[in-house]
Amino acid sequence: MEEQRVRIVDIAEELGVSTATVSNVIHGKTRKISAETVRRVQELLEKRQYIPGMAEILLAQNNSRIIGVVVNNHEKYEMHVLEDYFIASSLNYLSREIEKAGYFMMVKVTKDCDEIVRYASMWNMEGLVVIGFCEQDYRMLRDRMHIPFVVYDGYFKESARICNLIVDNYDGGYQMGRYFRELGHQRGICISDNDICMDFERWCGFRDAMKETGGTADFLQIPMKKRERLAFYQKHIDMIKSYTAVFAVSDYYAVDLMRFLQQNGVQVPLDISVAGFDDGPYCESASPALTTIRQDGAKRAALAISELKKLREEQEEGRFLKLPVTLIRRQSTSEYRGRAVK
């Protein structure tokens, strides 16, 4: 039978001291306690193998040294959100910056904003980085929490008490469209699972650059779930092959499409050039290596932590920061060599 956890009250009763005294020793608040009492409490805590609850300790401190990172467990990830290229890379960069600043990182995956409020409060967090939620969610969090937070790629008008770190999505799409036109491609298509927010901006930039020099660009909305998406590609394969250049709004969708095309006898980039967005960790190991738009994850993570500090110290009320992006040319794209695959 599992032993019952030792409680503060048990230690206090055995020593004949108050629970407040034991709690103060645990939390290092010993200035008003005699050295002998501190010694007795510490010895018994060790003897009884007392392990205090972490939440209990943090709630008793003014400074938890914890930064929470909350990721939306959106249905498109199909319960594999932390394996997503962009999410995994973002967590990696945030982990480095948080540790460098002398803090600890805690990660929470959820769809429920109420859970975020409880999570932040329970652990007495000093700040949050929130990824993948919607405008109404950010407004609710701002109204219900006093903890400062930074948002990755938020879309909302008011920035009071929130720092919104976005990348230049339109310019990323524009750079890709211009690059395809420089390669001689006249018919391009953008693929995404939605036509709003950052994906819409990427598509608009791509479309404008393609049309600027006489090319054409279309948009194709694809299913979020992999099985449905592959069936969709199979049904529309002839239409997809009528284009010579495909711009996917994420590296994941770009690599996913490349595999499908290759399995169906379409050569990338000989028949169709394919490019993505993010420059995630698998771009270079894809076959062929993926041309993409790089967003600087390291810089964004560094800004996230510095902006949290400013918000916490009330040095600013919140703001929008837009980071530049860069075209990375690799082997999944090449010059237009003739008509699209039939």
Q: Whats the size of the chain, residue-wise?
A: 342
pLDDT tens-digit series, residues 100-146: 999 999 999 999 888 888 888 778 788 999 999 888 888 888 888 88
Q: Write out the chain's pLDDT in tens, 342 residues.
A: 344 678 888 899 999 999 999 888 877 678 889 989 988 988 888 788 776 665 566 555 566 789 999 999 988 888 889 988 889 999 999 999 999 999 999 999 999 888 888 888 778 788 999 999 888 888 888 888 888 899 998 887 766 778 899 999 999 999 999 999 999 999 999 999 999 899 999 999 999 999 998 899 999 999 999 999 999 999 999 999 999 999 999 999 999 999 999 999 999 999 999 999 999 888 999 999 999 999 999 999 999 999 999 988 877 777 889 999 999 999 999 999 875 554
Cα distances (Å, whole numbers) of residue 289 to 6, 31, 331: 57, 62, 5
Q: 173: burial class by Cβ within 10 Å (0-12, 13-18, 19+)?
A: buried
190 and 203 Cβ atoms separated by less than 8 Å = yes
b vs e for 199-238, b when ≥16 Cβ sit within 10 Å of the residue's Cβ?
A: bbbbbbbbbebbeeeebebebbebeeeeeebbebbeeebe
148 and 311 Cβ atoms separated by less than 8 Å = yes
Token digits for 11?
A: 């230690």
Cis upstream peptide for 52 (omega within 30°): no
Token digits for 155?
A: 């879309």
pLDDT tens-digit series, residues 214-230: 899 999 999 999 999 99
Give the pLDDT of residue 123.
Answer: 80
Q: How far is CA 110 from the centre of its chain?
A: 13
What's the angle, vertex CA 166, arms to CA 203 and CA 127, rounded to 5? 145
Cα distances (Å, whole numbers) of residue 28 to 11, 60, 238, 259: 16, 11, 70, 58
| pTM of the model as a whole | 0.79
What is the Cα gyration radius of the chain?
26
Question: Dihedrals φ, ψ of 71, to 5°?
Answer: -115, 130
201 and 173 Cβ atoms separated by less than 8 Å = yes
H/E run at residue 26: helix 19-26
158 and 190 Cβ atoms separated by less than 8 Å = no
89 and 279 Cβ atoms separated by less than 8 Å = no
* Amino acid symbol at 62: N
Token digits for 86?
A: 């962009």
Residue in 172, 142, 141, 138 with CA at minimum distance from that of residue 152 = 138
Give the pLDDT of residue 141.
Answer: 87
